[in-house]
Amino acid sequence: EDLEKIKADNKTIISFHMPPDKLGMDVCYTRDQNVYKYVGSKSIYNWIEKEQPLISLHGHIHESYDITKTWNFNLGRTLVVQPGQMQLTRFVVLELNGEKVIPCLKFL
């Protein structure tokens, strides 16, 4: 219900701690470390799909990139980013080129 109050357009950049559901950026280990589980938010996925902000930034699931190697996804016109963070420091550089966003994952 709270997300319905937030409106976006093609110039909006938004940040949610939780990643959207099932884009490969919401996968975590289960307790036995051999089984993976999707834990993203369906509500956030639906909001992004409907509102189509320019960029949607996420965190929360540290090991997701190490499992899926997925750190960005285009959901319609929206660039969704979740770099994860395990042993190496990861950060994302976003270059705005006109109306196009060019993402680049960096490691330290």
Find all residues with CB under 8 Å of 105, minimum gap 6, and list them. Answer: 71, 72, 83, 90, 91, 92
| 32, two tokens | 């036995």
Angle at 57 between CA 63 and CA 39, to 5 degrees: 45
- pLDDT digits 0-9 by tens, 4-13: 999 999 999 9
Higher-confidence position of 87 and 70 = 70
- pLDDT digits 0-9 by tens, 66-78: 899 999 999 999 9
In the prediction, which pLDDT does 32 show? Answer: 76
Q: What is the pTM of this model?
A: 0.89
In the prediction, which pLDDT does 50 show? Answer: 97
Find all residues with CB under 8 Å of 65, minimum gap 6, and list them. Answer: 25, 71, 82, 83, 84, 86, 90
